Structure 1
Amino acid sequence: MDETETVALGMQLLWAGALMLALTLIHSLGLAGISRLLRLDPELLKKRSFDSQAWGLMSFLGALLFLLHFVEIFLFAIFYVLIGAIQGMEEAVFFSASTYATIGFTESFPENWRLVGAFEGLIGFILIGWSTAFIVNTMNRLREG
Protein backbone atom coordinates (compact mmCIF):
# COMPACT_ATOMS: atom_id res chain seq x y z
CA MET A 1 0.00 0.00 0.00
CA ASP A 2 1.55 3.29 -1.07
CA GLU A 3 1.24 6.61 0.74
CA THR A 4 -1.66 7.87 -1.42
CA GLU A 5 -3.71 4.75 -0.66
CA THR A 6 -2.91 5.07 3.04
CA VAL A 7 -4.09 8.70 3.10
CA ALA A 8 -7.25 7.80 1.16
CA LEU A 9 -8.00 4.96 3.57
CA GLY A 10 -7.37 7.24 6.53
CA MET A 11 -9.73 9.90 5.13
CA GLN A 12 -12.49 7.36 4.57
CA LEU A 13 -12.13 5.98 8.08
CA LEU A 14 -12.00 9.47 9.58
CA TRP A 15 -15.19 10.55 7.79
CA ALA A 16 -16.93 7.26 8.57
CA GLY A 17 -16.06 7.68 12.27
CA ALA A 18 -17.23 11.29 12.32
CA LEU A 19 -20.51 10.37 10.63
CA MET A 20 -21.00 7.46 13.02
CA LEU A 21 -20.53 9.73 16.04
CA ALA A 22 -22.82 12.40 14.59
CA LEU A 23 -25.58 9.93 13.73
CA THR A 24 -25.35 8.20 17.10
CA LEU A 25 -25.78 11.57 18.79
CA ILE A 26 -28.66 12.54 16.49
CA HIS A 27 -30.37 9.19 17.08
CA SER A 28 -29.94 9.45 20.84
CA LEU A 29 -31.35 12.98 20.90
CA GLY A 30 -34.13 11.91 18.53
CA LEU A 31 -35.19 9.04 20.78
CA ALA A 32 -35.11 11.32 23.83
CA GLY A 33 -37.21 13.91 21.99
CA ILE A 34 -39.71 11.29 20.86
CA SER A 35 -39.94 10.00 24.43
CA ARG A 36 -40.73 13.48 25.70
CA LEU A 37 -43.15 14.32 22.91
CA LEU A 38 -45.14 11.11 23.34
CA ARG A 39 -44.73 11.04 27.13
CA LEU A 40 -43.16 7.59 27.14
CA ASP A 41 -42.16 7.72 30.80
CA PRO A 42 -41.97 4.09 32.03
CA GLU A 43 -44.25 4.73 35.01
CA LEU A 44 -46.86 6.48 32.87
CA LEU A 45 -46.80 3.67 30.30
CA LYS A 46 -47.38 1.06 33.00
CA LYS A 47 -50.53 2.91 34.08
CA ARG A 48 -52.01 2.87 30.56
CA SER A 49 -54.04 0.04 29.17
CA PHE A 50 -53.28 -1.60 25.85
CA ASP A 51 -56.27 -0.22 23.97
CA SER A 52 -56.95 1.65 20.73
CA GLN A 53 -55.27 4.72 22.15
CA ALA A 54 -52.13 2.66 22.72
CA TRP A 55 -52.26 1.49 19.09
CA GLY A 56 -52.45 5.12 18.00
CA LEU A 57 -49.46 5.92 20.20
CA MET A 58 -47.47 3.07 18.68
CA SER A 59 -48.42 4.14 15.15
CA PHE A 60 -47.28 7.69 15.84
CA LEU A 61 -44.09 6.32 17.41
CA GLY A 62 -43.41 4.32 14.25
CA ALA A 63 -43.96 7.38 12.04
CA LEU A 64 -41.60 9.48 14.16
CA LEU A 65 -38.92 6.81 14.07
CA PHE A 66 -39.28 6.58 10.30
CA LEU A 67 -38.79 10.35 10.11
CA LEU A 68 -35.71 10.13 12.35
CA HIS A 69 -34.17 7.47 10.12
CA PHE A 70 -34.99 9.52 7.03
CA VAL A 71 -33.13 12.52 8.52
CA GLU A 72 -30.11 10.28 9.12
CA ILE A 73 -30.28 8.90 5.58
CA PHE A 74 -30.61 12.43 4.20
CA LEU A 75 -27.51 13.58 6.11
CA PHE A 76 -25.45 10.84 4.49
CA ALA A 77 -26.90 11.80 1.10
CA ILE A 78 -25.86 15.42 1.63
CA PHE A 79 -22.36 14.23 2.54
CA TYR A 80 -22.12 12.15 -0.66
CA VAL A 81 -23.16 15.12 -2.80
CA LEU A 82 -20.81 17.53 -1.00
CA ILE A 83 -17.76 15.32 -1.52
CA GLY A 84 -18.73 14.76 -5.15
CA ALA A 85 -19.11 11.00 -4.78
CA ILE A 86 -22.66 11.11 -6.18
CA GLN A 87 -24.16 13.66 -8.54
CA GLY A 88 -27.71 14.69 -7.74
CA MET A 89 -29.72 14.55 -4.56
CA GLU A 90 -32.23 11.93 -5.76
CA GLU A 91 -29.47 9.45 -6.58
CA ALA A 92 -27.68 10.25 -3.31
CA VAL A 93 -30.83 9.67 -1.23
CA PHE A 94 -31.52 6.42 -3.11
CA PHE A 95 -27.98 5.19 -2.56
CA SER A 96 -27.99 6.28 1.08
CA ALA A 97 -31.36 4.68 1.85
CA SER A 98 -30.42 1.38 0.21
CA THR A 99 -27.08 1.33 2.00
CA TYR A 100 -28.47 2.41 5.40
CA ALA A 101 -31.11 -0.31 5.20
CA THR A 102 -28.35 -2.78 4.19
CA ILE A 103 -30.02 -3.57 0.86
CA GLY A 104 -26.74 -2.76 -0.85
CA PHE A 105 -27.19 -1.13 -4.26
CA THR A 106 -23.58 0.06 -4.32
CA GLU A 107 -22.46 -0.58 -7.89
CA SER A 108 -22.39 3.10 -8.87
CA PHE A 109 -20.47 4.35 -5.85
CA PRO A 110 -16.95 5.68 -6.45
CA GLU A 111 -14.24 3.32 -5.26
CA ASN A 112 -12.34 6.02 -3.36
CA TRP A 113 -15.32 6.49 -0.97
CA ARG A 114 -16.76 2.98 -0.84
CA LEU A 115 -15.69 2.35 2.77
CA VAL A 116 -17.89 5.24 3.92
CA GLY A 117 -20.79 3.56 2.12
CA ALA A 118 -20.00 0.26 3.81
CA PHE A 119 -19.86 1.95 7.20
CA GLU A 120 -23.22 3.59 6.52
CA GLY A 121 -24.66 0.08 6.21
CA LEU A 122 -23.20 -0.87 9.58
CA ILE A 123 -24.38 2.36 11.19
CA GLY A 124 -27.87 1.95 9.72
CA PHE A 125 -28.04 -1.65 10.94
CA ILE A 126 -27.16 -0.57 14.49
CA LEU A 127 -29.54 2.42 14.53
CA ILE A 128 -32.43 0.39 13.11
CA GLY A 129 -31.77 -2.22 15.80
CA TRP A 130 -31.73 0.50 18.45
CA SER A 131 -35.11 1.76 17.20
CA THR A 132 -36.49 -1.77 17.23
CA ALA A 133 -35.40 -2.20 20.85
CA PHE A 134 -37.03 1.15 21.65
CA ILE A 135 -40.35 0.00 20.12
CA VAL A 136 -40.26 -3.39 21.85
CA ASN A 137 -39.44 -1.77 25.20
CA THR A 138 -42.34 0.67 24.79
CA MET A 139 -44.74 -2.17 23.85
CA ASN A 140 -43.63 -4.24 26.83
CA ARG A 141 -44.25 -1.36 29.22
CA LEU A 142 -47.70 -0.80 27.75
CA ARG A 143 -48.54 -4.48 28.19
CA GLU A 144 -47.42 -4.42 31.83
CA GLY A 145 -50.12 -1.86 32.59
Structure 2
Amino acid sequence: MNESETAIALSVQLLISGGLMLALTLTHSLGLIGVSKLLHLEPEVLKRRSLDMRAMITMSTLGTLLFVLHFLEILLFAIFYVVVGAVDRFESAIFYSAAAYSTLGLSFGSFPEEWRLIGAFEGLIGFILIGWSTAFMVGTMNRLRE
Protein backbone atom coordinates (compact mmCIF):
# COMPACT_ATOMS: atom_id res chain seq x y z
CA MET A 1 0.00 0.00 0.00
CA ASN A 2 1.48 3.36 -0.99
CA GLU A 3 1.28 6.55 1.08
CA SER A 4 -1.79 7.85 -0.74
CA GLU A 5 -3.71 4.60 -0.22
CA THR A 6 -2.64 4.54 3.43
CA ALA A 7 -3.89 8.11 3.95
CA ILE A 8 -7.23 7.25 2.32
CA ALA A 9 -7.60 4.09 4.43
CA LEU A 10 -6.81 6.09 7.58
CA SER A 11 -9.32 8.78 6.60
CA VAL A 12 -12.01 6.17 6.01
CA GLN A 13 -11.39 4.59 9.42
CA LEU A 14 -11.49 8.00 11.13
CA LEU A 15 -14.75 8.95 9.38
CA ILE A 16 -16.37 5.63 10.24
CA SER A 17 -15.14 5.90 13.84
CA GLY A 18 -16.64 9.38 14.07
CA GLY A 19 -19.96 8.12 12.71
CA LEU A 20 -20.01 5.20 15.13
CA MET A 21 -19.11 7.53 18.00
CA LEU A 22 -22.03 9.79 17.07
CA ALA A 23 -24.40 6.82 16.78
CA LEU A 24 -23.34 5.39 20.14
CA THR A 25 -23.49 8.76 21.91
CA LEU A 26 -27.03 9.24 20.60
CA THR A 27 -27.96 5.66 21.54
CA HIS A 28 -26.57 6.16 25.04
CA SER A 29 -28.37 9.48 25.50
CA LEU A 30 -31.68 8.00 24.42
CA GLY A 31 -31.04 4.93 26.57
CA LEU A 32 -30.37 7.01 29.69
CA ILE A 33 -33.46 9.12 29.05
CA GLY A 34 -35.55 5.97 28.56
CA VAL A 35 -34.19 4.31 31.70
CA SER A 36 -34.75 7.50 33.67
CA LYS A 37 -38.38 7.71 32.56
CA LEU A 38 -39.00 3.98 33.04
CA LEU A 39 -37.68 4.02 36.61
CA HIS A 40 -39.06 7.49 37.45
CA LEU A 41 -35.62 8.90 38.26
CA GLU A 42 -36.63 12.55 38.09
CA PRO A 43 -34.82 14.57 40.81
CA GLU A 44 -38.02 15.67 42.55
CA VAL A 45 -39.26 12.06 42.72
CA LEU A 46 -35.93 10.74 44.01
CA LYS A 47 -35.74 13.38 46.75
CA ARG A 48 -39.02 12.06 48.21
CA ARG A 49 -37.69 8.51 48.41
CA SER A 50 -35.50 7.14 51.15
CA LEU A 51 -32.72 4.57 51.12
CA ASP A 52 -34.81 1.48 51.68
CA MET A 53 -35.49 -1.83 49.95
CA ARG A 54 -37.36 -0.06 47.14
CA ALA A 55 -34.33 2.17 46.49
CA MET A 56 -32.07 -0.90 46.40
CA ILE A 57 -34.36 -2.56 43.87
CA THR A 58 -34.40 0.62 41.79
CA MET A 59 -30.60 0.81 41.80
CA SER A 60 -30.29 -2.89 40.95
CA THR A 61 -32.73 -2.47 38.08
CA LEU A 62 -30.82 0.62 36.94
CA GLY A 63 -27.57 -1.35 36.91
CA THR A 64 -29.15 -4.17 34.93
CA LEU A 65 -30.66 -1.79 32.37
CA LEU A 66 -27.35 0.02 31.96
CA PHE A 67 -25.65 -3.33 31.36
CA VAL A 68 -28.23 -4.09 28.65
CA LEU A 69 -27.64 -0.65 27.11
CA HIS A 70 -23.88 -1.24 26.98
CA PHE A 71 -24.42 -4.70 25.49
CA LEU A 72 -26.59 -3.16 22.74
CA GLU A 73 -23.81 -0.69 22.00
CA ILE A 74 -21.30 -3.55 21.82
CA LEU A 75 -23.67 -5.31 19.41
CA LEU A 76 -23.74 -2.25 17.14
CA PHE A 77 -19.98 -2.46 16.73
CA ALA A 78 -20.12 -6.24 16.34
CA ILE A 79 -22.69 -5.91 13.56
CA PHE A 80 -20.45 -3.36 11.87
CA TYR A 81 -17.46 -5.74 12.04
CA VAL A 82 -19.50 -8.55 10.44
CA VAL A 83 -21.04 -6.31 7.76
CA VAL A 84 -17.66 -4.97 6.58
CA GLY A 85 -16.19 -8.48 6.65
CA ALA A 86 -13.62 -7.75 9.35
CA VAL A 87 -14.79 -10.87 11.22
CA ASP A 88 -16.52 -13.87 9.72
CA ARG A 89 -18.38 -15.15 12.81
CA PHE A 90 -20.80 -13.08 14.85
CA GLU A 91 -19.58 -14.64 18.10
CA SER A 92 -16.03 -13.50 17.27
CA ALA A 93 -17.31 -10.02 16.46
CA ILE A 94 -19.11 -9.78 19.81
CA PHE A 95 -15.99 -11.02 21.62
CA TYR A 96 -13.71 -8.53 19.88
CA SER A 97 -16.20 -5.71 20.35
CA ALA A 98 -16.72 -6.43 24.05
CA ALA A 99 -12.96 -6.62 24.61
CA ALA A 100 -12.40 -3.32 22.82
CA TYR A 101 -15.42 -1.52 24.34
CA SER A 102 -14.54 -2.51 27.89
CA THR A 103 -10.89 -1.54 27.29
CA LEU A 104 -9.90 -5.06 28.28
CA GLY A 105 -7.07 -4.74 25.81
CA LEU A 106 -7.14 -8.15 24.18
CA SER A 107 -5.87 -8.09 20.66
CA PHE A 108 -7.55 -10.14 18.03
CA GLY A 109 -4.68 -11.62 16.02
CA SER A 110 -6.52 -12.17 12.75
CA PHE A 111 -8.37 -8.86 12.77
CA PRO A 112 -7.78 -7.06 9.44
CA GLU A 113 -5.38 -4.14 9.60
CA GLU A 114 -7.79 -1.86 7.71
CA TRP A 115 -10.30 -2.04 10.62
CA ARG A 116 -8.03 -2.15 13.70
CA LEU A 117 -8.12 1.61 14.26
CA ILE A 118 -11.90 1.40 14.65
CA GLY A 119 -11.39 -1.17 17.41
CA ALA A 120 -9.08 1.26 19.18
CA PHE A 121 -11.67 4.04 18.89
CA GLU A 122 -14.30 1.63 20.20
CA GLY A 123 -12.18 1.35 23.36
CA LEU A 124 -12.17 5.13 23.76
CA ILE A 125 -15.91 5.39 23.10
CA GLY A 126 -16.64 2.53 25.52
CA PHE A 127 -14.47 4.14 28.21
CA ILE A 128 -16.42 7.41 27.88
CA LEU A 129 -19.85 5.73 27.84
CA ILE A 130 -19.04 3.50 30.82
CA GLY A 131 -17.90 6.60 32.70
CA TRP A 132 -21.11 8.37 31.71
CA SER A 133 -23.17 5.46 33.07
CA THR A 134 -21.16 5.49 36.28
CA ALA A 135 -21.78 9.21 36.74
CA PHE A 136 -25.48 8.62 36.05
CA MET A 137 -25.67 5.92 38.74
CA VAL A 138 -23.72 7.98 41.28
CA GLY A 139 -25.94 11.01 40.62
CA THR A 140 -29.04 8.88 41.06
CA MET A 141 -27.72 7.45 44.34
CA ASN A 142 -26.80 10.93 45.59
CA ARG A 143 -30.33 12.20 44.88
CA LEU A 144 -31.74 9.25 46.80
CA ARG A 145 -29.56 10.12 49.82
CA GLU A 146 -30.51 13.82 49.88
Q: Same fold (TM over 0.5)?
A: yes
Match of 1:86 in 2: 87
TM-score (norm 1): 0.97
Distance in 2 (CA, whole Å) between partners of 1:111 and 1:59 is: 40
Conserved 8 A contact 2:103-2:127: yes
SS where residue 49 of structure 1 aligns?
A: coil
Shift of 1:107: 3.1
What is the number of residues matched between the two proteins? 144
Distance in 2 (CA, whole Å) between partners of 1:139 and 1:67 is: 20
Conserved 8 A contact 2:96-2:108: no
What is the one-letter code of the residue matched to 1:105? L
What CA RMSD, in Å, does the superposition of the two structures yield over aligned residues? Answer: 0.8
Match of 1:20 in 2: 21
Distance in 2 (CA, whole Å) between partners of 1:98 and 1:26 is: 20
Match of 2:64 in 1: 63
Distance in 2 (CA, whole Å) between partners of 1:107 and 1:100 is: 13
Distance in 2 (CA, whole Å) between partners of 1:106 and 1:7 is: 24
Match of 1:111 in 2: 113
Q: Work out which of the residue numbers 115, 119, 122 in structure 2 matches 1:120.
A: 122
Answering whether residue 62 of structure 2 is matched by residue 49 of structure 1, we say no
Distance in 1 (CA, whole Å) between partners of 2:101 and 2:91 is: 15
SS where residue 68 of structure 1 aligns?
A: helix
Match of 1:4 in 2: 5
Distance in 1 (CA, whole Å) between partners of 2:34 and 2:108 is: 36
Identity among equivalent positions (%) equals 64
What is the one-letter code of the residue matched to 1:6? A
For structure 2, which runs of at least 5 residues remain unmatched after alignment? none
Cα-to-partner distance string for 1:45-88 (whole Å, 9 max, x where unaligned): 00001001100000000000000000000000000000011111
Q: Which runs of 4 or more aligned residues in structure 1 lie more than 4 Å from their structure 2 counterparts after TM superposition?
A: none
TM-score (norm 2): 0.97
